[in-house]
């Protein structure tokens, strides 16, 4: 659905986006991560045709993002910026009806379209509310409803959970998952890392205009994790397992927490089966032996060399 080849927008002085190449399949949720000023919004504006690239290409559903293809791409893409204008004097119904007209949706189809997007965003009860009376979370949901009016195949959401309280963030996350289930492709820019980890199929980490990592959370974690953190869950005395671990090459600081043993492993990965074999020979009842996955915040800090 999204493909970029060496996409660059140079503002001078090192600012902008430099050589972005990535491929996002249809039907996936892509989390785009980076500190302020890293180039996330520049990327989004390039994909939407709001900026012209200095070099390189961007494609949406096989169409190159050029002025000649602008009208076709606008029918495919729904873009919700981090800050969008609302008309306070309108009701929610009037606001959405206004944008139906802007999208050239026929008058006879507008009511069903408005009710459909309000149902998708769980906002049916707001239909007669004044826009001026909406909370931040309500405004974001109505903004998303507006973005869905022309039934785009690709949604580009720039910081959709920014400024929301925890309950509103949960609602937004649930809405995004529903949209993915309907076959939408979603590009989600956010700095709220736990929100992305729970919903994204792919992530990209951007810093100073350069893509530092791309893939699933698990794939990126494996690339940046130099050492393994291991958890062993037992149905027997963990003290015996802790003693075995203390004497095994590469095991660092094994600790016991209830029926679990945790440690950092810095040895050769192919020696892990030997450790497990020793534990089983000691008649320990192993329920689970697993490598702990780094969370998205740890991955981000490691990739950007901030942690």
Per-residue pLDDT of 72-110, as tens digits, reads 999 999 999 877 777 788 999 999 999 999 999 999 999
What the block records as the tokens of 43 is: 């990327």
Across 40-46, average pLDDT: 92
List, in sequence order, every residue forming a beta bridge with 8; answer none if it has no partner: 55
pLDDT digit string, tens, across residues 17-38: 999 999 999 999 999 988 878 8
User: Can you tell me the distance from the alpha carbon of 11 to that of 73, in angstroms, rounded to the nearest whole number?
Assistant: 25
- End-to-end CA distance of the chain: give it in Å, rounded: 33
Across 248-272, average pLDDT: 89
Sheet of 260-265: strand order equals 251-257, 260-265, 228-234, 286-291
User: Can you tell me the distance from the alpha carbon of 33 to that of 298, in angstroms, rounded to the nearest whole number?
Assistant: 13
Coil, helix or strand at residue 182: coil
Q: Does pLDDT of 124 surpass 80? A: yes
Tokens 């736990």, residue? 194
pLDDT digit string, tens, across residues 53-82: 999 999 999 999 999 999 999 999 999 987
User: Can you tell me the distance from the alpha carbon of 63 to that of 173, in angstroms, rounded to the nearest whole number?
Assistant: 29
The pTM score is 0.73
pLDDT given for residue 73 in this prediction? 93
**Residue 19: is it exposed, middle or buried by C-beta count within 10 angstroms (0-12/13-18/19+)?**
middle
Q: Are 145 and 96 in contact (CB under 8 A)?
A: yes
Average pLDDT, the chain: 87
For residue 254, the Cα-to-chain-centroid distance in whole angstroms is 34
Across 195-215, average pLDDT: 85
Where does the pLDDT of residue 119 fall: very low under 50, low under 70, confident under 90, or very high at 90 and above?
very high
Coil, helix or strand at residue 57: strand
Where do runs of H (alpha helix) occur along 154-271?
A: 166-181, 193-199, 217-224, 238-246
Domain annotation for the chain: domains and CATH numbers: 2-83+144-215 (3.40.50.300), 223-303 (3.30.70.100)
User: Can you tell me the distance from the alpha carbon of 144 to that of 121, in angstroms, rounded to the nearest whole number?
Assistant: 7
Of 44-53, 212-221, 270-279, which gets the smallest average pLDDT?
212-221
């Amino acid at each position: 659905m999204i493909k970029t080849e060496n996409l660059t927008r140079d503002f001078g002085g090192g600012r902008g986006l430099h050589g972005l190449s990535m491929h996002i399949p249809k039907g996936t949720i892509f989390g785009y991560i980076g500190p302020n000023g890293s180039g996330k919004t520049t990327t989004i504006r390039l994909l939407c045709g709001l900026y012209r690239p200095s070099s390189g290409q961007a494609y949406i559903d096989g169409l190159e993002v050029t002025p000649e293809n602008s009208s076709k791409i606008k029918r495919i893409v729904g873009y919700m910026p981090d800050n969008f204008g609302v008309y306070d004097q309108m009701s929610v119904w009037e606001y959405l009806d206004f944008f139906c007209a802007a999208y050239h949706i026929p008058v006879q189809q507008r009511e069903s379209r408005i009710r459909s997007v309000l149902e998708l965003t769980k906002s049916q009860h707001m239909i007669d509310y004044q826009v001026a009376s909406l909370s931040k979370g309500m405004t974001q949901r109505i903004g998303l409803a507006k973005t869905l009016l022309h039934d785009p195949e690709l949604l580009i959401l720039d910081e959709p959970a920014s400024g929301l309280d925890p309950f509103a963030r949960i609602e937004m996350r649930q809405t995004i998952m529903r949209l993915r289930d309907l076959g939408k492709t979603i590009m989600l820019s956010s700095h709220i890392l736990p929100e992305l980890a729970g919903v994204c199929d792919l992530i990209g980490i951007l810093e100073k205009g350069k893509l530092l990592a791309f893939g699933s959370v698990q794939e990126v974690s494996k690339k940046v994790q130099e050492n393994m953190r291991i958890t062993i869950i037992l149905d027997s005395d963990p003290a015996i397992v802790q003693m075995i671990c203390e004497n095994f090459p590469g095991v660092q600081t094994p600790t016991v927490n209830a029926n679990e043993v945790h440690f950092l492993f810095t040895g050769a990965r192919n020696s892990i089966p030997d450790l497990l074999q020793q534990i089983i020979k000691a008649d320990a009842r192993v329920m689970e032996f697993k490598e702990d996955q780094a969370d998205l915040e740890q991955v981000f800090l490691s990739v950007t060399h901030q942690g």
